[in-house]
Amino acid sequence: MNFAVAPGASAETSHIISEIWHFYENEFKTILIFAAAVLSLMLIKKNERNVMRRRNFTGFIIAAIIVHITGPALTGTKELYFFSMPLPWSSFSIQAFNTTTAFHESFTGHWGVAGLGAVLIFVVLYNIVVFAGTLLFGRRLQCSQLCLFNGFASEVFSAAFPLNGKKPRKAGRVLKTVFSVLRAVLLSAAIFFTLTSILSAAGFINEVNNPLMYKIETYKYLSVELLMAMFFWVVFTGRGYCYYCPAGTVLAFISKTAGQRIRTDLSDCIGCGKCDKACPMSISIKEQALKGKPVISMNCVGCGHCVDVCPNETLGYSTWFIDLINSIRRKRKLAD
Ligand code: SF4
Ligand code: SF4
């Protein structure tokens, strides 16, 4: 609403729309995340473990408070949330530097050019946390604890609002092919816009104020990212966008380096198949668990649903760093 309507409206209408939009995006969304997380926890069956999901909810609530409440108060921009979504990888240059965008106006209106500096610092810090954190904790950190674009919606609302009473459908072969094509297209777009940012910041080109670039980026965001993500969320699987999210794709490669995997050797698998049913990314877990082999998948968002649902506590989310922490803890326990 704010994105498309406010720039063309009268000053008064634009102001009212922006105020409503900012309230919805910041305060209202934070309250909604908190309420949905509490409701979801109450709705998760009493006898079901929810260790991982509780941690996910805590992560999203903290992220929402920082991004939607504390961050805007410190930087003076109520559009800060935009720069913490997976989109900065593809949209930052256009939305931050293009002088006609609502995002640009939101932070330069308060602090002038210094506002751009504040947002840049926020983006750099946020990206350091995400990239370094992924090297230590795998894709789980961003996709299941921090992502305020699609991650929070699929995690926090899944139990509280189970898709109009329907069970979310699993991604079949056709849908997975569609997701693979979208992944290649969006990753290419992300690389293109990221290169544009770097070359613009270095002064080699000045394409960020190009109206055609802005139009392409806007329609890409509104159609393939926002509307399509919502469509997949409602009709198919809440994690639809996660299959082709450009940030998720980059983080999936980093997660490989981090040694991210689902351990299946914590006890014997009884082959009940609950893990396969619980996985929102349609990953085959049981097959590997029966062999005692780890589950390693680019699509694993580290939500831990499989870990929580396993009746035998066979499964565990792990990375090299988590293994190290656990072994230090074990040694300390033995020493005590
Ligand atoms: S394998 Fe487990 S942790 Fe990974 S996406 Fe599936 S349910 Fe979540
Ligand atoms: S939920 Fe646990 S016991 Fe059941 S199939 Fe999966 S790993 Fe095996």
178-228 pLDDT, tens digit per residue, is: 888 989 988 888 888 878 777 776 777 776 677 777 777 777 777 777 777
The CA–CA distances, whole Å, from 103 to 6, 100, 107 equal 11, 9, 7
Residue 58 and residue 9 share a domain: yes
Structural contact between residues 129 and 242, judged by C-beta atoms closer than 8 angstroms: no
Residue 145 and residue 77 share a domain: yes
Report residue 148 as tokens: 């305020």
Ligand nearest to the CA of 311: 2
What CATH number is attached to the domain comprising 264? Answer: 3.30.70.20
For the ranges 3-7, 28-32, 83-87, 141-145, the lowest mean pLDDT is seen at 3-7
Residue whose CA is closest, atom 8 of ligand 1? Answer: 303
Domain finish residue from 227, 254, 281? 254
Number of domains in the chain: 2
Atom of ligand 2 nearest to the CA of 290: 8
Amino acid 57 reads F
Radius of gyration from C-alpha coordinates of the chain: 21
CA of 47 to the centre of ligand 2 (A): 16
The domain in which residue 292 lies consists of 259-335
C-alpha–C-alpha distance, residues 244 and 281, integer Å: 12
Residue 295 is classified by DSSP as: B
Ligand nearest to the CA of 140: 1
Residue 207 and residue 66 share a domain: yes
Residue 264 and residue 220 share a domain: no
Residue 287 and residue 149 share a domain: no
The reply to whether ligand 2 has any atom less than 6 angstroms from the CB of 273 is yes
**pLDDT value for 193:** 80
Domain finish residue from 204, 231, 254? 254
Residue 19 and residue 75 share a domain: yes
Structural contact between residues 104 and 97, judged by C-beta atoms closer than 8 angstroms: yes
Over pLDDT 70: what percentage of the chain?
85
